[in-house]
């Protein structure tokens, strides 16, 4: 009953405000948008600052220890807010919530809600329940329930915590709605959940469960709705997106379910660009290479996780390809689609990685000349086979390899950017640049960020931009005034 000594604050009569922060990948971004949509559908207002919110949700990532620590640190700091405003609801959602469950409540006395990866669609119900209970407590507190008062029904559970990390069949079908901001031109669409690959370093099969795919019809319906609301570019999401549907949807004419889905989405009138992430190299069979060659809406960019250039390490990671097969795959993709950008993920310092294994990775990265790469230091995740492996690599060695490889990647990314200087490229304008709101930003078909001057009226439009400068990972240019400029003004 110690909590009764806290200040009594009842939410204002207006609907509560919520804040949601996302850690990690685009799948998490998409899940957060689903949660935001479900709260807004009930009248909740989204705010950009946690200090203004009555409900604070952190959608977490568990892929690396640092991601766990960031979310835990943030929630720990929010304890101060909880002391001043005890009615605020605090929740952890997503991968870390799934992996750690109830144990998260132990050191965070203000934490009210822990919801795993198969229960995002229940978040709004749980939030509503917690808000109602906290308000009831505050009302009782104001009307005389105080220290020494007899127990109150609403105070049977003074902590009000809810934990739901159960599996739920069909949960992959529940990530299907999203709010769009005015003139929003790009959107993510989740087509599957989970992964059965069990790479030895990865916690995803534990946090996201086994592979479950949505139906082709459901995905097409969602994309059609987004396009009708103004979206021009869609990115299909899945942990192993190109292995979509392999356990439930039959091949037709030797085409995998993923290629069937690409074709179906490609037919939607008004959709201008189609992307997908993140694929697995083993899912690039001839039918997909062929689709890259013949479906013009597929943007000229693929992200193909390499992880290591050493066959010994790839085997130990349980990645079912060799460095030679990977190089051949890149060659085939580049052959069928001229100018296509290729990006990747690489882990350095995996257990057993010797200097010569690392050198193989470095040489391969030099050879391929990626447009960009995410380089990660291996981070042991509990209950994964790699965490138990002998020959863990020392942190300073990992750090050194990380820095060294980043230099190689930065160099090839710089070259890829410089090749575009002086050229006119197609850019889909996404709105104001986050780093410099005086300018606009958009992406090329090869997924490069372009910053340029212009009126916000261009948000959501596809235009030609003449690239004048390449700087780090961004390009800078000037729109080549489209003949349709007047038409854009007319539409606005």
Smallest gap from Cβ 328 to ligand SF4, in A, equals 20
Cβ proximity to ligand SF4: between 47 and 197 the closer is 197
Residue 20 vs 306, nearer CB to ligand SF4: 306
* Buried-state track 105-128, b at ≥16 Cβ within 10 A, e below 16: beebebbbbbbbbbbbbbbbebbb
CB of 200 to ligand SF4, least distance (A): 9
Q: Which of 248, 270, 186 is nearest to 261 (CA)?
A: 248
Confirm if 333 and 284 have CB atoms less than 8 A apart. Answer: yes
Angle between helices 286-294 and 257-266 (to 10 degrees): 10
Within 8 A by CB and 6+ apart from 419, the residues are none
**Nearest distance from C-beta of residue 267 to ligand SF4, angstroms:** 29
Residue closer to ligand SF4 by CB (options 15, 197) is 197
| Token pair of 315 as six digits | 């085997």
**Closer of 279 and 477 to ligand SF4 (Cβ):** 279
* Smallest distance from ligand SF4 to CB 279, Å: 9
CB of 380 to ligand SF4, least distance (A): 14
Q: Which is nearer to ligand SF4, 125 or 167 (CB)?
A: 167
Q: By C-beta, is 204 or 373 nearer to ligand SF4?
A: 204
Which residue is associated with the tokens 């105070």? 155
Name the nearest CA neighbour of 203 among 65, 396, 88.
65
The least CB distance from residue 211 to ligand SF4, in Å, is 9
Nearer to ligand SF4, 158 or 205 (CB): 205
User: Residue 163 CB, nearest distance to ligand SF4 (Å)?
Assistant: 25
Least spacing, CB of residue 350 vs ligand SF4, in Å:
12
Give strand ranges (E) for 241-371.
Answer: 273-277, 301-303, 341-348
Token code pair at residue 450: 């372009």
Q: Which is closer to ligand SF4, CB of 134 or CB of 319?
A: 319
Instruction: Give the separation between CA 261 and CA 216, rounded to whole angstroms.
Output: 6
Q: Closest separation between CB of residue 289 and ligand SF4, Å?
A: 20
Smaller CB separation from ligand SF4, 91 or 209: 209
Query: Minimal distance in Å, beta carbon 43 to ligand SF4?
Result: 36
Tell me how far, at minimum, the Cβ of 213 lies from ligand SF4, in Å: 14
How open is the CA angle 398-407-333, to the nearest 5 degrees? 100
Instruction: Give the nearest distance from C-beta 23 to ligand SF4 in angstroms.
Output: 16
Q: Are 210 and 71 in contact (CB under 8 A)?
A: no
Cβ closest to ligand SF4, residue 205 vs residue 352: 205
How far is the C-alpha of 395 from the C-alpha of 161, rounded, in Å? 38
Q: What DSSP designation does 16 have?
A: P
Toward ligand SF4, which CB reaches closer, 79 or 385?
385
- Cα 418 to Cα 404, 422, 448, distances in angstroms: 22, 9, 12
Ramachandran angles phi, psi of 359, nearest 5° = -60, -35
- Helical H segments across 184-303, by residue range: 204-208, 216-228, 257-266, 286-294
- The distance of closest approach from Cβ of residue 228 to ligand SF4 in the complex, given in angstroms and rounded to an integer, is 32
How far from the centroid of its chain's Cα atoms is residue 239's Cα? 10
Q: Based on CB atoms, which residue is closest to ligand SF4, 126 or 284?
A: 284
Pick 239 or 361: Cβ nearer ligand SF4: 239
* DSSP per residue, 119-167: -GGGHHHHHHHHHHHHHHHHHHHHTT--TTSPP-GGGSSTT--EEE---
Q: Which chain residues interact with ligand SF4 by CB under 6 A?
A: 195, 197-199, 202, 204-205, 239-240, 280
CA distance 453 to 465: 10
DSSP code of 19? E
CA-CA-CA-CA dihedral for 347, 350, 356, 360, to nearest 10: -30
Residue 91 and residue 58 in contact, taking contact as beta carbons nearer than 8 Å: yes
**Among residues 402, 362, 357, which one has the least CA distance to residue 378?**
402
């Amino acid at each position: 009953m110690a909590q009764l000594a806290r200040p009594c604050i009842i939410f204002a009569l207006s609907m509560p405000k919520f804040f949601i922060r996302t850690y990690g990948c685009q799948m998490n971004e998409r899940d957060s948008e689903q949660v935001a949509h479900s709260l807004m559908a009930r009248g909740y207002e989204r705010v950009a600052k946690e200090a203004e919110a009555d409900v604070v949700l952190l959608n977490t990532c568990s892929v690396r220890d640092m991601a766990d620590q960031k979310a835990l640190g943030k929630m720990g700091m929010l304890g101060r807010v909880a002391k001043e405003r005890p009615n605020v609801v605090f929740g952890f959602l997503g991968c870390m919530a799934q992996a750690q469950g109830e144990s998260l409540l132990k050191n965070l006395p203000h934490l009210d809600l822990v919801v795993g990866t198969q229960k995002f669609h229940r978040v709004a119900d749980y939030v509503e329940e917690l808000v109602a209970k906290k308000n009831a407590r505050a009302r009782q507190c104001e009307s005389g329930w105080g220290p020494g008062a007899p127990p109150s029904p609403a105070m049977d559970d003074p902590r009000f915590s809810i934990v739901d990390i159960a599996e739920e069949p069909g949960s992959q079908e529940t990530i299907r709605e999203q709010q769009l901001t005015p003139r929003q031109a790009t959107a993510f669409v989740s087509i599957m959940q989970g992964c059965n690959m069990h790479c030895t370093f990865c916690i995803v099969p534990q946090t996201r469960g086994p592979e479950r795919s949505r139906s082709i019809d459901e995905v097409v319906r969602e994309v059609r709705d987004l396009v009708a609301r103004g979206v021009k570019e869609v990115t299909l999401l899945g942990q192993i997106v190109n292995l979509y549907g392999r356990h439930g949807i039959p091949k037709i004419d030797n085409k995998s379910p993923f290629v069937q889905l690409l074709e179906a989405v490609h037919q939607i009138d008004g959709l201008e660009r189609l992307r997908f992430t993140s694929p697995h190299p083993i899912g690039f069979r001839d039918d997909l290479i062929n689709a890259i060659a013949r479906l013009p809406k597929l943007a000229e960019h693929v992200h193909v996780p390499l992880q290591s250039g050493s066959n010994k390490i790839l085997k130990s990671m349980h990645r079912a390809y060799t460095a030679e097969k990977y190089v051949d795959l890149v060659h085939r993709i580049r052959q069928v689609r001229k100018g296509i950008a290729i990006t990747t993920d690489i882990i350095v310092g995996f257990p057993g990685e010797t200097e010569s294994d690392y050198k193989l990775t470095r040489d391969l990265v030099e050879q391929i000349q990626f447009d960009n790469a995410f380089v990660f230091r291996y981070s042991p995740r509990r209950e994964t086979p790699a965490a138990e492996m002998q020959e863990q690599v020392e942190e300073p060695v990992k750090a050194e390899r990380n820095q060294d490889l980043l230099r190689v990647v930065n160099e090839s990314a710089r070259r890829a950017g410089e090749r575009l200087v002086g050229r006119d490229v197609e850019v889909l304008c996404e709105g104001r640049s986050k780093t410099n709101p005086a300018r606009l930003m958009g992406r090329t078909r090869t997924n490069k960020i372009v910053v340029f001057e212009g009126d916000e009226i261009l948000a959501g439009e596809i235009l030609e931009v003449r690239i004048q400068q390449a700087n780090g990972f961004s390009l800078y240019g000037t729109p080549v005034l489209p003949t349709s400029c007047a038409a854009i003004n007319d539409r606005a």
